[in-house]
Structure 1
Amino acid sequence: MDEDRLKVKESDLDTIPKENRLKVNPSDPDTIPKFVDELPRPQIAKPIRKINGHDYYEVEMKAAYHSFHSLFPPTYIWGYNGLYPGPTFEVRKDETILVKWINKLPTKHFLPLDLTLHGAIDSPEVRTVVHLHGANVAPDSDGHPEAWFTRNYEYTGKKFSRKIYKYTNHQQGATLWYHDHSLGTTRLNVYAGLAGFYLIRDSFEEKLELPKGRYEIPILIQDKSFNEDGSLFYPDAPPFPVRVRPSVVPAFNGNTIVVNGKLWPYLRVEPRKYRLRILNGSNTTAYNLSLENNLEFYQIGTDGGLLPNPVKLTSILLEPAERADLIIDFSTLKGQTILLKNTLDQDPHKSVIMQFRVNLPLKEKDNSKIPESLRPLDPLKEEMAAKTRNLSLSATTDEYGRPMLMLNNRMWTDPVTENPEYDSIEVWNILNLTPFPHPIHVHLVQFLILDRRPFDIAEYQNSGKIIYTGPAVPPAPYERGWKDTVRAEVGMVTRIIMHFNDHEGDYVWHCHILEHEDHDMMRPFRVIKSSYNVQNNNSHSSHD
């Protein structure tokens, strides 16, 4: 296998004139040839022993050098086990595993660090904590932003309580992912390379005869920019004057597309069905994914697992942190080359994701299926909601004159205002008062999207009243399953419903545009067993 891949790589490089190879400038995407490197598959994480009958893993966060492109010099990154993406965990439903996340990173950050942000003012430069995104997990293993720790645990955040995380995997099969979540530096640490897949499998899914093994591929999409020497570029100030430098930026949009750690790679496939677990792991950028010539594909799952039925699509919109479980049938495309495109961007480089080459011989008969029915969905009933909360997304200006995004007009350090009762159902009405969409992520739970409805922003800002200006819009077909991240549309009330069960304690919810999360679009919430002695200081709740 490795020899075959090496031959492919050499033959692809041979098609590029030598003089063009010398002209490659990593900072200029116009000079970077596409489809030179084959799409790599992330390594699989392996346990090192058992503790009390549970598989035990150790994963080191450390600096390394990574090859983003065959014509680039090695690039300095931070990775889990020194890998980018990090190793993929493959676990089974209800089988608990233990993971010790070990910080072996340098003490100085290599990306522009803004010391004015929450959590960064008087804390060590390099702090890490790992969040398993989408997991039903106890708060001490959730990766709370203030549970950070430094190298050798010399310094720890105020929420730090354990070195070994416990993941019970008490949820259906799904595509989760893990990434850094340290307070005030998440955008930098994830951009540096701290992200990886976590796949939960279950017996129900295995009975469906979906594509598996070499025909099931996790795909992490991120955008990045590079300096001329091939090092990662991240801006040290926004594109307007500010009094702080380095300074957080309101958004990051790279000028290249990286898939599983390679720039615009290609994947050689057989003429048969493939299952692609796609994750948008970008800091800010959303993608509307489609195949060349509007070829159809099937979506079988969302963030939290399988849909009730497959959905036939020609495109799918993914905000940062959203996942899509897809099946593409290449059986009628033998000998063809197909592009995976991003129709949200007209840039010749950002509009191209990767290339599929249907040029491998069929190894065996394709017995995999696209079932008519997948997993039944037991919907949460709105009439059972104990509480409905109105929560706004708004913009203001910080003390340095920079734009700052907020949740419900509160900052990270303000007192907790969301205290859902343990084993209760709640509806959250997310009111987007800003001029752009936000991917909102709620820790601990998987939720369902009820609808989105336009409302009068000016009236709400003046009186606090929600005046709807149009009918409710149901979720898109590709959103009608369990979700942990939702696109809150501009000028809309996005309604989600969720059940707070299995765990009590401190969690967070936030915008998953990482530049927003770090400044200051993240809030704590606390799941409580009893609200008897808890003051209800959420003045925007529509009822108790």
Structure 2
Amino acid sequence: MNDHFIKDNDTLNNKEYSYKTVDPSKPDTIPKFVDEVPIPPKAMAMRKDGENLYYEIIMKQGKHYFHKLFPPTTIWGYDGIYPGPSFEVLRDQTIYVKWINSLPLKHLLPVDRTIHGAMDTPEVRSVVHLHGANVEPDSDGSPDAWYTRNYGLTGKKFNNKVYKYTNNQQGTTLWYHDHSLGSTRLNVYAGLAGFYFIRDFLEERLNLPKGEYEVPLMIQDKSFNKDGSLFYPDTPPFPVPVKPSIVPAFIGNTIVVNGKVWPHLKVEPRKYRFRILNASNTRGYTLSLSNGQEFIEIGTDGGLLNKPVNIKSMSLEPAERIDLIIDFSKNKGQSITLMNEDNNPNMRIIMEFRVVLPLKCKDISEVPKELYPETHLDEALASETRDLTLSASTDHYGRPMLLLNNRMWDDPVTEKPIQDSIEIWNIINLTAFPHPIHIHLVQFKILYRRPFNVQKYLNEGKLEYTGEAKEPFEYERGWKDTVKADPGMVTSLIMQFKDHHGDFVWHCHILEHEDHDMMRPLKVLKEE
């Protein structure tokens, strides 16, 4: 027996468990709150060239323990760990990162050879996208800029081995992940994801909780085979003539936080800051605390809010982030569960906070009444308003295929904003479920959501509203790069395409949809 395992008949949560009685494929057998939430290590620069830092991060296969009672699981990770190392950089400080592919030639997970990007390309490819970053197109991680191990083969958009990140944006929580055409869902699920924090001097002045009192939490759902290996389906839940085949969604049966299944975190009775990311393939979460306590929200995808907001719960779709304060000062000795709204009792639980650590020193951190000066975009200055649909179709194998503006990835680019222009995008969801829409390069504001007559639009192409416009939820009124586009609603966004021109993309961040043509090119034209 591996000495990592808890020995036979050890007591966990007043129950006796043995590594022999836990089946990773059966969630009901897995004891909760056993492992402590690990904090990903900090990415360390290899050298400093003048004012610029240079990093090398190696994508490689490794072994990972998702739970004390699991055997080791084979994963793919940045520097061989999952989650990958966290970057901490200063605003406007340029860094360079060489993302080195040292992955195996054969994939861990079932590869569908019939979808775009995977038909006639190597089985294992990688390219890294820094999600939410204001970057030049050559460093954005284009899906067609993939490369194989040791750069043996490269995609048509591959231009450079070293990516340049200028960090010319507000301090915020970004994340980096694989973005390879046709295999993003598999590579991210295998473990290729990590945090990237931009710091600025305003944030430092605010005296928010920091150091050990600032905790990143990456939430994903996973499923496992009996031997502890990652399970990912090779066929959808309906007959298709293709195997392995892409599936329309992936819904796991366990919750993993920072790489641990249903973990716990010991905290002091004081304020903590949590940088929460939904890095799941498909699943959205609606988070709350088991004791009914409020969160204090201080930031969204794009950075700090103007003012803090007290909220009881919030929804996070894949790729969305939220920046929260939880004040445990009145919870000494208590255990509080971070909950998810779900019908499955296992999936209702994310992790546990245990307020059991002694207070090291007086908590002098603060939540100021104003966080960041109010910034907005004037709708009257918008040079273009685009109506863009989300629609359902089928591919030639009879599988469901979701499309943006009724076009596939390889169709000619149709969204061509001018650099520095302001645009309004009306996302018209004609499908039966929500889609998290991510637009590269920009941060946007949500203007409103408004119900419309879906059938009339499908039959006549006419947009007929059936209700009043609804303001965004309190927890999503800051700058965003990913938005939940609800079914039967027009979700209206305003954004400015400043700083860079060239080729970018926009897509649904349900990775199974993105890989199956729910992604479109976006070309920012140079200002004349």
TM-score by length of 1: 0.95
Give the 4+ runs in structure 1 shifted more than 4 A: 9-13, 16-20
Matches within 5 A, 1:206-355: 206-343=204-341, 345-355=342-352
Cα 1:356–1:491, aligned 2, differ >3 Å: closer, same or farther?
same
Match of 1:361 among 351, 358, 363: 358
SS of residue in 2 equivalent to 1:73:
coil
Distance 2:461 2:48 in 1: 55
Distance 2:9 2:50 in 1: 50
Which residue in 2 is equivalent to 1:51? 49
Letter in 1 for 2:425: W
Residue 276 of structure 1 and its aligned partner are, at CA, apart by 0.1
Letter in 2 for 1:176: L
SS of residue in 2 equivalent to 1:226:
coil
Which residue in 2 is equivalent to 1:163? 161
Contact 2:90 2:199 in 1 (8 A): yes
Contact 1:242 1:402 in 2 (8 A): yes
SS of residue in 2 equivalent to 1:118:
coil
Residue 462 of structure 1 and its aligned partner are, at CA, apart by 1.9
Distance 2:8 2:499 in 1: 54
Distance 1:27 1:325 in 2: 32
Structure 2: stretches of 5+ with no match in the other structure: none
Residue 273 of structure 1 and its aligned partner are, at CA, apart by 0.1
Residue 18 of structure 1 and its aligned partner are, at CA, apart by 5.3
Which residue in 1 is equivalent to 2:516? 519
Which residue in 2 is equivalent to 1:106? 104
Matches within 5 A, 1:50-129: 50-129=48-127
Distance 2:321 2:512 in 1: 20
Distance 2:15 2:350 in 1: 23
Distance 2:167 2:288 in 1: 32
Cα 1:79–1:12, aligned 2, differ >3 Å: closer, same or farther?
farther
SS of residue in 2 equivalent to 1:233:
coil
Residue 460 of structure 1 and its aligned partner are, at CA, apart by 1.2
Matches within 5 A, 1:395-434: 395-434=392-431
Distance 2:172 2:206 in 1: 14
Which residue in 1 is equivalent to 2:375? 378
Match of 2:480 among 459, 483, 488: 483
Matches within 5 A, 1:474-513: 474-513=471-510
Contact 1:13 1:36 in 2 (8 A): no
Contact 1:96 1:167 in 2 (8 A): yes
Distance 1:157 1:12 in 2: 53
SS of residue in 2 equivalent to 1:428:
strand
Residue 241 of structure 1 and its aligned partner are, at CA, apart by 0.2
Distance 2:82 2:7 in 1: 22
Residue 377 of structure 1 and its aligned partner are, at CA, apart by 2.2
| 1:407-458 deviation digits (Å, cap 9, x = unpaired) | 0000000000000001100000000000000000000000000000001111
SS of residue in 2 equivalent to 1:293:
coil
Letter in 2 for 1:445: V
Which residue in 1 is equivalent to 2:456? 459
Residue 520 of structure 1 and its aligned partner are, at CA, apart by 1.1
Residue 220 of structure 1 and its aligned partner are, at CA, apart by 0.1
Which residue in 2 is equivalent to 1:536? none
Distance 2:97 2:400 in 1: 38
Contact 2:308 2:369 in 1 (8 A): yes
Contact 2:11 2:17 in 1 (8 A): no
Residue 19 of structure 1 and its aligned partner are, at CA, apart by 5.3
Percent of aligned pairs sharing the same letter = 67
| 1:140-168 deviation digits (Å, cap 9, x = unpaired) | 00000000000010100000000000000
Contact 2:27 2:254 in 1 (8 A): yes
Contact 1:377 1:481 in 2 (8 A): no
Which residue in 2 is equivalent to 1:178? 176
Which residue in 2 is equivalent to 1:542? none
Contact 1:270 1:330 in 2 (8 A): yes
Cα 1:245–1:375, aligned 2, differ >3 Å: closer, same or farther?
same
Contact 2:7 2:19 in 1 (8 A): no
Distance 2:505 2:338 in 1: 34
Structure 1: stretches of 5+ with no match in the other structure: 1-5, 532-544
Residue 14 of structure 1 and its aligned partner are, at CA, apart by 3.5
SS of residue in 1 equivalent to 2:188:
helix
Cα 1:359–1:240, aligned 2, differ >3 Å: closer, same or farther?
same
Residue 257 of structure 1 and its aligned partner are, at CA, apart by 0.2
Contact 2:43 2:85 in 1 (8 A): yes
Distance 1:170 1:445 in 2: 12
Residue 52 of structure 1 and its aligned partner are, at CA, apart by 4.6
Give RMSD over aligned pairs.
Answer: 1.5
SS of residue in 2 equivalent to 1:324:
strand
| 1:472-491 deviation digits (Å, cap 9, x = unpaired) | 00000001100000000110
Residue 11 of structure 1 and its aligned partner are, at CA, apart by 13
TM-score by length of 2: 0.98
Distance 1:261 1:53 in 2: 34
SS of residue in 2 equivalent to 1:232:
coil
Residue 320 of structure 1 and its aligned partner are, at CA, apart by 0.3
Distance 1:91 1:450 in 2: 31
Distance 2:359 2:16 in 1: 34
Residue 530 of structure 1 and its aligned partner are, at CA, apart by 4.9
Letter in 2 for 1:365: K
Cα 1:19–1:186, aligned 2, differ >3 Å: closer, same or farther?
closer
Which residue in 2 is equivalent to 1:138? 136
